[in-house]
Amino acid sequence: MWHGFDRYDFVMNEKTLELTPILKTEKEGMGADAPQPGTRRCIVVVPKKAAPGNPWTWRGCYWDHEPWAEIELLKKGFHVAYITTNPDETWDAWYQFLTGKLGLSAKPSFIGMSRGGANAYTWGTAHPDKVTAIYADNTGLSHQSLMKVDLLAKNNVPLLHICGSIDPIYENTINIEHLYKANGGSISVLVKDGPSHHPHSLRDVSIIVDFIERSAAAKEEAAPSFIPGRHTKAAFYCEKETYKHMPSEKVWVTTRGPLFTPEYNKYSFRLQGRLNYLSIYTPVKAAQGMPWVYRCDHPTGLSSVDLALLEKGFHIVVGPTTTSTGPVVEQWNEFYNYLTEKGFAKKPVLAGRGAATGEMYIWAINNPDKVACIYGENPIMRSSVAKVQPMDDLKPLADANVPLIHACGSLDPNLDSQTREVEKRYRALGGNITVLVDKDRGHYPLSPENPDEVVGAILKTISSKQ
């Protein structure tokens, strides 16, 4: 038995890969002795009743060390498996035995602490299509695995890292997080403020259990009907950190990532015969009328207004640009027609940050009847494709009653020369402009700390035009 569940032990011959059932010794208790030379110790623990699909977790080092998450998962119908280090053909043979002979799921979730995390990434990056999720705790890591984590991202494998803030190998998590997000992967991080490498895990393992259980239950999500067959998919979520006290751990923790904040999908594709890509960030549930934002710069995980609009059911659409000319204006029209034919609202919100706002103004000036409003963050009214700069060509927008919304920092050096000048000129033309100024914010961060006022203004504008 292992913590009240049936446990089965095996020895694997490293040369023949043959598995031999054994009985653990009384001295081993819940643990497991080191294997004899030329062999590996293997263990599988069976739940009282298996969950649908026979999900399982795989640990590749430090058996029975802080096993609280695995015990809870056994109660939920997961199998728990173990093999001694390091990943090689013995791990592949053990995987084949568990998935073939025992009929467990083809995609296990890994639980890896310290060196066990390194082993999880070694096997996982070698078999990225055979992994449901990885929970790594104060994880070790090889350079080779780090350079291949993009393979896990491409296979939509979610990651959870739990770390101590002064763990000497905390940089492994920082490096993985940076590369994983850059490759569109979903990674959540919880950092305990103060602890070092130990203790591993959490006293309240509900976060870990929820992550693994949710990952195992996730179904392959079909792309929306307006996404062509050939496309790429990435995760998008808020990158803002939250600092809070965690009573069960008796420490303060920093959390970030999609386990702690809503997560959205980003799809990128090309229309037939075109070389330039369109990207669409999709809400969990589209709002009535399919409202959307059209922009030429990509939002980031700190784009508070875009994240708030996604939560409200807006789509965020990034039009095609090239490395040489920037916005491809004629293709912007093609993509507008494509999306509105697919049911998107006839009048999107035009948006941009910094000088990207000026580029959006040009499309709006040329298509004033197709614009709900224009929203700019610390905008600079300059365009690389315009014959007449937008600051000098605002009349078509005023004539079409297009509302303007600018959110700026009071310390932005462009506030007076750009937004205040636009405000003066637009009002002189009879136009409607709202200027929201955050005290003591400079040009960065570009997005306002609290997006509610901006989102409220955008929603009011759209409501008045329906």
Domain boundaries, the chain: 6-219+230-246, 262-465
> Which pair of structure tokens corresponds to residue 179?
């590369």
Same fold, 6-219+230-246 and 262-465: yes
pLDDT computed for residue 465 by the predictor: 62
Residue reference for tokens 């009384």: 26
3-state secondary structure labels for all residues of the chain = CECCEEEEEEEEECCCCCEEEECCCHHHCCCCCCCCCCEEEEEEEECCCCCCCCCEEEECCCCCCCCHHHHHHHHCCCEEEEECCCCCHHHHHHHHHHHHHCCCCCCCEEEEECHHHHHHHHHHHHCHHHCCEEEEECCCCCHHHHCCHHHHHHCCCCEEEEEECCCCCCHHHHHHHHHHHHCCCCEEEEEECCCCCCCCCCCCCHHHHHHHHHHHHCCCCCCCCCCCCCCEEEEEECCCCEEEEECCCCEEEEEECCCCCCEEEEEEECCCCCCCCEEEEECCCCCCCCCEEEECCCCCCCCHHHHHHHHCCCEEEECCEECCCEECHHHHHHHHHHHHHCCCCCCCEEEEECCHHHHHHHHHHHCHHHCCEEEEECCCCCCCCCCCCHHHCCHHHHHCCCCEEEEEECCCCCHHHHHHHHHHHHHHCCCCEEEEEECCCCCCCCCCCCCHHHHHHHHHHHHHHC
Q: What pairs with residue 43 in β-bridges?
A: 9, 82
Cβ–Cβ < 8 Å for 188, 258: yes
Residues 266 and 305: their CA atoms lie apart, in Å, by: 16
Any residues with CB less than 8 A from the CB of 397 and at least 6 apart, and which?
Answer: 361, 364, 365, 368, 371, 374, 404, 426, 431
> Which pair of structure tokens corresponds to residue 379?
């905008």
Residue reference for tokens 């960065």: 444
pLDDT digits (tens, 9 = 90+) for 158-203: 999 999 999 999 999 999 999 999 999 999 999 999 999 999 999 9
Low-confidence ranges of the chain (pLDDT < 70): 323-325, 464-466
pTM above 0.75, yes or no: yes
From the centroid of its chain, how far is CA 111? 20
Q: For the structural domain made of 6-219+230-246, what CATH number should be given?
A: 3.40.50.1820
pLDDT digits (tens, 9 = 90+) for 238-260: 999 999 999 999 999 999 999 99
Cβ–Cβ < 8 Å for 406, 432: no
* 262-465 CATH, one of 3.90.1280.10, 3.40.50.720, 3.40.50.1820, 2.60.15.10: 3.40.50.1820
Burial class (CB in 10 A: 0-12, 13-18, 19+), 197: middle
pLDDT computed for residue 328 by the predictor: 72
> Which pair of structure tokens corresponds to residue 100?
């073939």
pLDDT computed for residue 187 by the predictor: 98
Q: What pairs with residue 80 in β-bridges?
A: 45, 57
Cβ–Cβ < 8 Å for 194, 167: no
Cβ–Cβ < 8 Å for 98, 126: no
pLDDT digits (tens, 9 = 90+) for 279-296: 999 999 999 999 999 999
Residues 444 and 425: their CA atoms lie apart, in Å, by: 25
pLDDT computed for residue 452 by the predictor: 95
